[in-house]
Amino acid sequence: MIWFVLIAFLGGASVSLSRQINGRLSLSTSAMHASFWNHIVGFGLLSLMALAFGGLFAPGTAEAPYWAYLGGTIGVVFIALSSWLVAKIGAAQTALLIIAGQMISGVVLDIVMGAPGNPLARIIGVALILAGMWLSQRKR
Amino acid sequence: MDPRPYHFLTAFGAGILLSLMVLFNGTLATYGSLLFASWVPHATGTVVALVFLALMRPKKASKARPPLWAYAGGVVGAFTVMATSYTMNTALALSGTLAVGLAGQMVFSLIADARGMLGLPQKIPNARDWAALALIVAGSLILIFFGGAA
């Protein structure tokens, strides 16, 4: 169990590390350049892994809805925005506000798509996040 | 630098984009392999980034060449995908992976800010930052474990 927790923790830390590295690249180039390099380097690495281990194409792949292929387009904008933000407002603020946006829109998506969930927990969770955002945004 | 309202809105908007990205890539993973669901967005993302670069022609911020490691963000990102898809299928499940990952993100970010790590500006959190952090993390954990966000 300790091993799983350690890997999950490192997985989270790697999100911030990758953002820090892309942010540094954007300081020398631009946020969109950083996003481009992030994607092409990842693409190269994953292609090598596909060649080495196989298993890239599975039966049923062709049946995915067309909109499921739009993740990369969103990812380009996401990486560019977060590379720009991390150099401006710091890693912790960037991470916190992105998490806030992800959590609250996650609740909205869940409700829209009819996913089951506890309404009271959703209200309390969203209220705490909004309170935290209000606090960090208030004029000093 | 304190976040201005437009930084604030941009970060929040980026979080919304992240939700959609997880939904789209996750849907792809239910039809194809996990590798496919990570390979496709990197392939299309590379092409789309090239189009954006051609249209926007962003100026390079500096003539000096960045250090070679600054190009390694994508390598670290590939590790993220592997680590999280691994722990999702253990006793931690998705909610545990998200919750522990949230802790990993925040601990690393705070250390990175405090030290000005990897050539980014140093930033020491004040009491208000800590309080905001506690509220947002608490709200997120409630959503992850009880709200059906997982």
Three-state SS for B99-134 is: HHHHHHHHHHHHHHHHHCHHHCCCCCCCHHHHHHHH
Residue A82: per-residue pLDDT: 96
Residue B33: per-residue pLDDT: 85
A124 located within any domain: yes
Cα(B123)–Cα(A53) distance, integer angstroms = 42
A-facing residues of B in 80-119 (CB < 8 A) are 80, 83-84, 86-87, 90-92, 96-97, 100-110, 112-113, 117-119
Mutation target vs B (from A74, A107, A140; most B CBs, 10 A cutoff)? A74
A67 located within any domain: no
Q: In chain A, how many domains are there?
A: 1
Rounded to a whole number of angstroms, the distance from the CA of B7 to the nearest CA of chain A is 7
* Per-residue pLDDT tens digits of chain A, which is 140 residues long: 789 899 999 999 999 999 999 999 999 999 999 999 999 999 999 999 999 998 888 888 888 899 999 999 999 999 999 999 999 999 999 999 999 999 999 889 888 888 888 888 999 998 999 999 888 877 65
For the segment B105-127, what is each residue's pLDDT rounded down to a tens digit?
999 999 999 999 998 999 888 88
Cβ contact A20:B120 at 8 Å: yes
Quote the radius of gyration of chain B (alpha carbons, Å): 18
Rounded average pLDDT over B86-98: 82
| DSSP character string of B60-72 | PS-SSPPPGGGGT
Residue A118: per-residue pLDDT: 87
Using CA atoms, how far residue B139 sits from A76, A99, A131, in Å, is 28, 10, 9
Its domain, for residue A85, covers: 2-62+73-137
Cα(B52)–Cα(A33) distance, integer angstroms = 9
B18 close contact with A: CB closer than 8 A = yes
ipTM here = 0.90
| Cα dihedral sign, A41-A42-A46-A49 | positive
A88 located within any domain: yes
Confidence (pTM): 0.90
Cα(A25)–Cα(A21) distance, integer angstroms = 6
Rounded average pLDDT over B42-65: 92
Question: Given an 8 Å threshold on Cβ–Cβ distance, is A137 in contact with B5?
Answer: yes
A68 located within any domain: no
* pLDDT above 90 for B23: no
